[in-house]
Homo-oligomer: A and B are copies of this chain.
Amino acid sequence: MTTHKVLIAGQWRDSDATGTFQAEDPRAAAKINENYPVSSWSECEAALDAATKAFAQLRQLPRETIAAFLETFADRINARSAEICELASRETAYPVEPRLASGELPRTTDQLRQAAAAARSANWCIPVIDTQTNIRSFYAAIGPVAVFGPNNFPLAFGSISGGDFAAAIAAGNPVIAKANSMHPGTTRLLAEEARAAADESGMPAGTVQLIYRLAHADGEKLARDPRLAAIGYTGSRDAGLKLKAAADSVGKPIYLELSSINPVVILPGSLEERYDEIVAEMTGSCLMGTGQFCTNPGLVILQKGEPADRFVDSLSEKFNAAPVGTLLSESGQKGLAAAVETLKNAGAEQICGATEGGGEGYSYANTVLQIDGDRFLANPHVLQTEAFGNSTLIVKTDSLEQAAKVICSLEGNLTGCIYSASNGNDDEAYDQLVPDLRQRVGRLLNDKMPTGVAVTAAMNHGGPFPATGHPGFTAVGIPGSILRFAALQCFDNIRPHRLPDVLQDENPCNAWRRVDGIWTQANVTELATA
């Protein structure tokens, strides 16, 4: 059995590997018979040098070349869609339809095309021109970026195809992709298309590079290396915090997306009004993708009483009746089991599920746990343990005041939802709870479950620590997500012909710019004479 090659400096080459690993077929609960290399530090060195060279060349290229690359790549992914989705399905157990072929893949190519449009129009880089002082600034490419993608979105968050990749490239940076070990084959297919697209569109060799796995120590060394400018990481909290510590120690931006339990508050009036709908929405959102979504609702806050008891019963019935999905990996199954055990040990009562197996391959029964507000508040830290998968914890609170306390005990999360009655009966409760919830989440929702993260300009897929590493940035949404991989550059008294084109008086690319406090697409000279 040969070992797959890595993509370094524009070439697929034999890895200078320190070992190999195999992906899993989660449905078969077995290894897939293909070897992928664990790269040595020398391979990181080669990738860093190639990325450094690529970056110097990228800075000289017209924005159009970057846009063309992203679009060509999207076209090539479309053309190879069947093969990519088939392998992704084998490595993740996600169904080809509807999840991969008509869901995640179009989302991925749409994201690449949105990034292309942003790169072409420069609408992401916030050009600011102060004519009186002749000082101008914008956000510019930061340098080589390493992307560590998660296990749960092999395409749309994939290391060499997803949101971080698209954002880093759109800003003008080369990317060193570290594949997620759960789907190296899918990442390899995507990297083949990325590399071919880079060649076709005239991007420098070394713009897109791929390694599959690194020893933890080498990952941290990479994070500290001065040739690397920034990092995007989506995954487990432990590994992410180690990379963050390494990056922080050298003052390097690292954008993390870590755990999130996404609290959902269901106020009594809404339950009275839309009981069946809310049960159905919650079941769908909790079990979608076997619960393996960053925005999976892992914590539900209800007011104690008959309607809440009935809601828990109905939810358990639905959970019991729903098919048990396959989880991404053996470690995913074990991790979920361990998290549920932790929650139970901290006082959560098992309503349904909470046993391993029950589905095809790696699986865990659809699980509902519940706990009283006072018990939750006795141990809020442990009771916020993320149970990544098809498990949800219901907290039943005595009073609105207690619900407020539960909310105030929460760590940072990606999302927070409040369901309330449409007739205004819950408005007072809403007003009392929302300020504290608002400060603890990146995205606040009304009457809507948190799964489903639209790739739209106003999206924030981010939030306070530990959901992410900085509450000012989003991982989804263009143009906003691009700013993560950019540095603010100011030009003071720079001779006109030496300015970047988007900061010159003329504005041939029609970029939106803030000139003397006014957002405009006009030339500076037109404004002066207006």
Q: Which A residues form the contact surface with B (CB < 8 A)?
A: 56, 59, 123, 128-130, 132-133, 135-137, 139-140, 142-143, 244-245, 248-253, 412, 415, 430, 434-435, 438-439, 442-448, 454, 456-460, 462, 464-466, 468-474, 480, 483-484, 486-495, 498, 512, 514, 517-520
Contact = CB atoms under 8 A, between A and B. Distances in A.
A437 to B, nearest CB: 11
Q: Which one of A244, A519, A520 has the greatest number of beta carbons of chain B within 10 Å? A: A519
Contacts of A438: 140, 489
Copies in the complex: 2
Contacts of A518: 512
Given A244-B248, A244-B251, 8 more contacts: A123-B517, A129-B458, A135-B459, A137-B460, A442-B489, A458-B490, A462-B488, A512-B519
Contacts of A471: 142, 253, 487-488
Contacts of A459: 135, 137, 490
A367 to B, nearest CB: 27
Nearest to A455: B133
Contacts of A245: 248-249
A490 B416 CA distance: 10
A505 to B, nearest CB: 14
A460 B488 contact: yes
Nearest to A427: B498
10 contacts: A128-B457, A137-B460, A142-B471, A251-B465, A430-B498, A446-B492, A446-B495, A448-B492, A457-B517, A471-B487
Given A253-B471, A489-B444, A458 B135 contact: yes
A464 B490 CA distance: 12
A408 to B, nearest CB: 10
A460 B489 CA distance: 7
Contacts of A494: 444-446
Q: Name the residue among A132, A462, A486, A498 with the largest chain B CB count within 10 angstroms.
A: A498
A488 B444 contact: no
Among A143, A245, A434, A495, max chain B CB count under 10 A is at: A495
Nearest to A142: B471
A514 B444 contact: no
Nearest to A492: B445
A493 B448 contact: yes
A143 B439 contact: yes
Nearest to A134: B458
| In the complex, the 8 A-B pairs of residues with the closest C-beta atoms, listed nearest first | A251-B465, A460-B490, A519-B519, A471-B487, A443-B490, A248-B248, A128-B458, A137-B458
A522 to B, nearest CB: 12
A466 B448 CA distance: 44
A286 to B, nearest CB: 18
Nearest to A497: B427
A446 B490 contact: no
A9 B456 CA distance: 42
A480 B488 CA distance: 10
Contacts of A493: 445-448
Nearest to A471: B487
Nearest to A483: B472
B130 A470 contact: no
Q: Which of A128, A143, A448, A512 is most buried by chain B, counting CB atoms within 10 A of its CB?
A: A128
**Listed residue (A448, A474, A517) with the most chain B CB atoms within 10 angstroms of its CB:** A517
B251 A458 contact: no
A267 to B, nearest CB: 13
Nearest to A55: B439
A142 B470 CA distance: 11
**Most chain-B CB neighbours within 10 Å: which of A471, A484, A491?**
A471
Contacts of A489: 438, 442, 444, 460
Given A444-B492, A472-B487, A130 B457 contact: yes
